[in-house]
A and B are shown apart, each in its own frame.
Chain A
């Protein structure tokens, strides 16, 4: 991937001045954390190691002395934020040293759309007086832009005309741009986000993993779903590393750790330690075009912790990750009855195991997964299965989760319904004997 980055994006050149502009947090991390992953540095350290480039790292949120011009500019940006709802914080970047570095740069990399909004006015001016190539890394531009808003529409067009290269880290967003803004498609590149696999590597083979982990502050996370899941699954222990749960009540089985990556309130090593003791990472999302949950999912998989994630429009790599494909069955029980007998709610395809569930009177939620599973409701009811859905219903994950919780709550009632079911075992026996010609029984 670095080869693509060096070659396609920056071309082959020597001693170029390259400047990375981040929003905030990198300088703090570099100063305060001894071991940090390079996930969110976008190959900065590779350029830094190379003798072929002069590399600089700048941040928008810099500490500045009072300056009347900057003050008035900040008021103007405040107005822009009010009118557009977008991030305009360019005033914080305005200081002599930063402007000098930018002016001397040959190539500039803006690491997200917030940085690109903030510096749009500055680069509109700078591009007229100097030749700079500006590249942006995008991760959710179109979830922030409302094309029906005339201000947003103007800003987007200005960005497409002004900036030179657009790197999309999510496939969904890349495809969206190709489809809806094809006139600038030559500027688009798709580079899937990658994590530092040297850092995100399990240190020990921990067999005693128990925790279910939720990690992240992104507003596209479905905090309510995660909280309700934890609240209702009291037998499991959850760790929520996020600032998104401050309004929720504390629960015995949910440990909430406030964290903000850019502020470094929890170091990456601490997060790696949390992954070490986690059995599963959950990434519930609200549907969006933004490649949400990408870094956490990749970090988790790199740490050998499986991930359950919501499928959204902005899912970041639908070519590699296929729904219902590449499922590895880790445990294949030989005796299905033995497994079902200890189960409180049996969720299954409407296949042969429903007979065991029926025999054991285990409340069940069945899904008709293929055309063979085509019994009518009354036939399932005779077996005691009153809750059966179609495969397509699986898309409504929120509703399914809610239904399972309600069924769990009402399982004694459902058991009573099952007891009433009127299957006649003797008739089944007769049919078996007749069809399979078991005369000696």
Chain B
């Protein structure tokens, strides 16, 4: 039996999802460090969450991560902004790398897209590992940089990385 499995994210997870998002481990490296209010979360759920593609990564039937993918168009190009939300207050490097690997396997199937990730500069683990997953830094002189930062409301403390998924 496979130790790690992925599951479809259903609407009935709405309250648990908020609890996960409000875990310190997630807020610490998020652009907004504030605890999210329930009313704001409910509004976001109906307005934004339903537009993104998410799935749950379970280890031994316990949810450990939620993988999120937001799809958007910019300057005639298709983009996916992906993220990972921890479902546990603490995680280990092995699970994290496994979670990223599973997410990348999904992203590989999304042909003809450009994948974007943003990493807090203080997040030393991910700042050392992005290269192993085929990402390259998106530098400020790139013509897409400003549009992406503005569109995704990425904070200045974050570095942006991208990779192209070819046909």
User: Which of A's residues lie within 8 Å of B, judged by CB?
Assistant: 377-378, 381, 386-390, 393, 396, 399-400, 402-403, 406-407, 409-410, 413-414, 416-417, 420-421
Assess the A410–B12 pair: CB atoms within 8 A: no
Is B74's beta carbon under 8 Å from chain A? Answer: no
Residues of B within 8 A of A393 (CB): 37-39
* Nearest B residue to A390, CB-CB: B38
Assess the A381–B12 pair: CB atoms within 8 A: yes
Is B1's beta carbon under 8 Å from chain A? Answer: no
Number of A-B contacts (CB under 8 A): 45
Assess the A406–B46 pair: CB atoms within 8 A: yes
Is B95's beta carbon under 8 Å from chain A? Answer: no
Assess the B15–A399 pair: CB atoms within 8 A: no
CA distance A421 to B38 in the complex (A): 20
Assess the B39–A403 pair: CB atoms within 8 A: yes
Partner of A406, one of B10, B12, B16, B43: B43
* Nearest A residue to B47, CB-CB: A406
Minimum CB–CB distance from A414 to chain B (whole Å) comes to: 8
* Nearest B residue to A409, CB-CB: B46
Partner of A410, one of B10, B16, B38, B46: B46
Is B125's beta carbon under 8 Å from chain A? Answer: no
CA distance A421 to B12 in the complex (A): 9
Residues of A within 8 A of B12 (CB): 381, 386, 417, 420-421
* Nearest B residue to A386, CB-CB: B14
* Nearest B residue to A416, CB-CB: B11
Assess the B11–A417 pair: CB atoms within 8 A: yes
Main secondary structure of the interface of A (DSSP, over half): helix
Interface set, chain B 6-64, CB cutoff 8 A to A:
10-12, 14-16, 37-40, 42-43, 46-47
Assess the B43–A381 pair: CB atoms within 8 A: no
Residues of B within 8 A of A377 (CB): 15-16
Minimum CB–CB distance from B17 to chain A (whole Å) comes to: 11
Assess the B38–A399 pair: CB atoms within 8 A: no
Partner of A386, one of B15, B37, B40: B15
Assess the B43–A402 pair: CB atoms within 8 A: yes
Given A406-B43, A406-B46, A407-B46, does the pair A389, B11 have CB atoms closer than 8 Å?
no
* Nearest A residue to B11, CB-CB: A417
Residues of B within 8 A of A378 (CB): 15
Assess the B42–A387 pair: CB atoms within 8 A: yes
Give me 7 other A-B pairs in contact (C-beta within 8 A), A377-B16, A421-B12 excluded: A377-B15, A378-B15, A386-B14, A393-B37, A406-B42, A406-B46, A417-B11
Assess the B39–A389 pair: CB atoms within 8 A: yes
* Nearest B residue to A378, CB-CB: B15
Minimum CB–CB distance from A364 to chain B (whole Å) comes to: 13
6 A–B contact pairs at CB < 8 A? A386-B15, A389-B42, A390-B38, A396-B39, A409-B46, A417-B10
CA distance A409 to B40 in the complex (A): 17
Partner of B15, one of A381, A400, A407, A414: A381
Residues of A within 8 A of B15 (CB): 377-378, 381, 386
Assess the A403–B42 pair: CB atoms within 8 A: yes
* Nearest B residue to A387, CB-CB: B42
Residues of B within 8 A of A421 (CB): 12
Assess the A403–B43 pair: CB atoms within 8 A: yes
Assess the B40–A399 pair: CB atoms within 8 A: yes
8 tightest CB-CB pairs across the interface, nearest first? A406-B46, A377-B15, A417-B12, A393-B39, A399-B39, A417-B11, A403-B42, A386-B14
Given A377-B15, A417-B11, does the pair A389, B46 have CB atoms closer than 8 Å?
no
CA distance A390 to B38 in the complex (A): 9
Residues of B within 8 A of A400 (CB): 39
Residues of A within 8 A of B14 (CB): 386-387
Minimum CB–CB distance from A387 to chain B (whole Å) comes to: 6
CA distance A406 to B39 in the complex (A): 12
CA distance A416 to B14 in the complex (A): 14
Residues of A within 8 A of B37 (CB): 393
Minimum CB–CB distance from A106 to chain B (whole Å) comes to: 57
CA distance A376 to B10 in the complex (A): 20
CA distance A417 to B11 in the complex (A): 7
* Nearest A residue to B18, CB-CB: A377
Minimum CB–CB distance from A381 to chain B (whole Å) comes to: 7
CA distance A322 to B165 in the complex (A): 61
CA distance A417 to B15 in the complex (A): 12
Minimum CB–CB distance from A114 to chain B (whole Å) comes to: 39
CA distance A135 to B46 in the complex (A): 54
* Nearest B residue to A396, CB-CB: B39
Residues of A within 8 A of B38 (CB): 388-390, 393
Residues of A within 8 A of B10 (CB): 417, 420
Residues of B within 8 A of A396 (CB): 39
* Nearest A residue to B37, CB-CB: A393
